[in-house]
Every structure is written in C-alpha cells, then in structure tokens.
Amino acid sequence: MKDYKYDYRRSSFKEEKSDGKTKYYMQVENYYIEVDKAVYKVCKASYDKIRYTYKNEVARSTMYYKEIDLATFFMFQPNNLSIINKIWLKDLYNTVLDEINQLPYPDNKIGKLTFIDELKDRQIAEILHIPRTTVAYRKKTIQKRLQQKIKKICQIE
C-alpha cells in the first residue's frame, strides 16, 4: 500500500494572482492542476499540519534526550557526601550562581528560574512574556556556558 503522507511538498501548492483574482493550483504527478479554493485550503492545511507535527516530534525527542544529558552530567548521590565534597559542591553552586548573575537581563532571569526555581519553559515564558521557543534556545546557550565553566573547574574532558 502506498504511503500518501509524503505525496506533497511545499512546492506542490501554488497561488497565482491576476486581475485581482486568485487561482489555486496543486501539483499532481508533474503537472499543476487548477483546483477550487476550498480543496486547496484543506490540502494545504493538512500538509502544513503533517509538517508541523513531524517537526515538533523530532524536535521534542532530540531536545528531551539532550536535556537529560545536560541536566545529569554532574549528578551526585546526596547521601554519600563527605564534608570535603559538601564544601566542594557549595563552591561549585556559588560559581554557577555567579555565572548566572553575570549574564545579561533576560538570560540571567531565565537561568535563575530554570536552574534555581526549576520552572518549566512554558512557565518561564509566561512570567517573562516571551515565546517558549526563545526560552528553550536561551536555556540551551546558558547550559552550554555553565557546562564550559564547570568543566574548567572540574577539569572534565
């Protein structure tokens, strides 16, 4: 059975405006066929929905695993800490806080809300009145900066 999910591409849909009227075309095999506006809109919306869903599934799955890696690369067992390790972790924590405080305004606020208050991207976006995608992008850059700083301190390669 043929999989019709990938029959269309972005170039499969074409609109031409002439004399104030819009004509709608869809590509079938190698030819453009004029179609009704309703047919065009339904097919285009369906295609856009498939693209959007697929794009988000891929982005979420890769982001999920990257976040796990970024968040857990220096995890420790809180029950098995000696005094020296507690002091070292406190110094590391203070270094991370200093690094977050040195960031420019939106980034330092995102860093505090993410790593200290442990809020989700959606909640941070609502608090700061910025898009969630902006929060996710900036959080990723902050994580990379903090990782580099911690790697220097811990001499992790």
Residue 153 tokens, joined: 């301190």
Mark whether 9 and 66 lie in a shared domain: yes
Q: Which of 46, 72, 98 is the last residue of a domain?
A: 72
What pLDDT, on a 0 to 100 scale, did the predictor assign at position 51? 80
In the DSSP assignment, the letter for residue 112 is: I
Mark whether 97 and 146 lie in a shared domain: yes
Mark whether 85 and 61 lie in a shared domain: no
DSSP letter for each residue of 66-88: HHHHHHHTT---GGG--HHHHHH
Against a cut of 0.75, is the pTM above it?
Answer: no
Number of domains in the chain: 2
Mean pLDDT, residues 62-87 taken together: 60
Q: Which of 5-9, 44-48, 97-101, 124-128 has the lowest mean pLDDT?
A: 5-9
CATH number of domain containing 125: 1.10.10.10
Mark whether 68 and 129 lie in a shared domain: no
Mark whether 98 and 44 lie in a shared domain: no
Query: Higher confidence at residue 118 or residue 74?
Result: 118
Mark whether 100 and 59 lie in a shared domain: no
Q: Which of 72, 102, 118 is the last residue of a domain?
A: 72
Model confidence at 134: pLDDT above 90: yes
Mean pLDDT, residues 85-94 taken together: 80
Query: Higher confidence at residue 63 or residue 143?
Result: 143
Mark whether 17 and 43 lie in a shared domain: yes
Model confidence at 31: pLDDT above 60: yes
121: left (phi over 0), alpha (psi -120 to 50) or beta: alpha
Mark whether 84 and 64 lie in a shared domain: no
Q: Which of 72, 92, 126 is the last residue of a domain?
A: 72
Q: What whole-number percentage of the chain has pLDDT above 70?
A: 78
Mark whether 150 and 122 lie in a shared domain: yes
What range defines the domain where residue 94 resides? 77-154
